[in-house]
Chain A
Amino acid sequence: AQSVTQLDSQVPVFEEAPVELRCNYSSSVSVYLFWYVQYPNQGLQLLLKYLSGSTLVKGINGFEAEFNKSQTSFHLRKPSVHISDTAEYFCAVSVGTASKLTFGTGTRLQVTL
């Protein structure tokens, strides 16, 4: 079975600073990787996904992530954050596009002035 680890439960950062949210996964087979964002009192929405091809994937709102198979990581990055990026971010993995998602425990990004 696959699993996802998000080591940082909270990440405080100042506006316009860069940020990296870490995600590591474990699986004995090839995986598909996702980052979802949850704004306060809302459902989850897809930020970006890696299914195949280029290991650097770009998503909405200026976020990007890099799939690193050797390190089993899929870290999320943004070069300059805004107050509006304050939200909870979830990394998720599936072993096939028709399969269930396994979520990490989430990282709360808190952007302040």
Chain B
Amino acid sequence: NAGVTQTPKFQVLKTGQSMTLQCAQDMNHNSMYWYRQDPGMGLRLIYYSASEGTTDKGEVPNGYNVSRLNKREFSLRLESAAPSQTSVYFCASSGGLAGSSGIQYFGAGTRLSVL
């Protein structure tokens, strides 16, 4: 099993450009998450999807949009990239059901630079 797959692995954008980060999981998980990781700040939740058809804002949603395309896929879109969005982005998934283990499984990350 591939687990959680993120594409692309690296991306360089100019300020104002748009892009979509893709994430897919093959574990039949209900919940999916997008985080950003910045030095000294740990992981901060951008958006999450508790189940197919639902999305909710996390701690730092400004400047981002998400789409839960189906149970497998959860994309993150930057409509107009800004240098402050330079970061490493991680997608994660979990069973999401009460009583499940609560473990989140992470992709390898996307390193994004906005110039």
- A residues with a Cβ closer than 8 A to B are 6, 9, 32, 34, 36, 42-46, 49, 51, 90, 94, 96-101, 103-106
> Between A and B, how many residue pairs show CB distances below 8 Å?
66
Contacts of B4 in A (CB 8 A): 43
Cβ-neighbour of A97 out of B42, B58, B99 (below 8 A): B99
Q: Specify the main secondary structure of chain B where it touches its partner.
A: loop
> How many Å from the CB of B9 to the closest CB on chain A?
10
Q: Specify the main secondary structure of chain A where it touches its partner.
A: loop
B108 contacts A42, CB within 8 Å?
A: yes
Contacts of B103 in A (CB 8 A): 34, 46, 49
Measured in the bound complex, the distance between the Cα atoms of B31 and A36 in whole Å is: 18
Contacts of B98 in A (CB 8 A): 96-98
A94 contacts B90, CB within 8 Å?
A: no
B102 contacts A98, CB within 8 Å?
A: yes
Measured in the bound complex, the distance between the Cα atoms of B48 and A90 in whole Å is: 19
Measured in the bound complex, the distance between the Cα atoms of B106 and A45 in whole Å is: 7
Contacts of A43 in B (CB 8 A): 4, 90, 106-109
In this complex, the interface size class of chain B, counting residues with CB under 8 Å from chain A, is: 20 to 34
**Residue interface bits B92-113, CB-to-A below 8 A is 1, else 0:** 1001111111111111110000
Take A44-B90, A44-B106 as given contacts and tell me if A100 and B101 are in contact as well, using a CB distance cutoff of 8 Å. Answer: no
Take A43-B90, A44-B90, A98-B97 as given contacts and tell me if A103 and B106 are in contact as well, using a CB distance cutoff of 8 Å. Answer: no
Measured in the bound complex, the distance between the Cα atoms of B105 and A36 in whole Å is: 10
Task: Look across to chain B and name the residue whose beta carbon is closest to the beta carbon of A91.
Answer: B42
B43 contacts A9, CB within 8 Å?
A: no
Residue among B50, B103, B108 facing the most chain A CB atoms (10 A cut-off) = B103
**Residue interface bits B66-110, CB-to-A below 8 A is 1, else 0:** 000000000000000000000000101001111111111111110
Interface membership of B45, Cβ < 8 A: yes
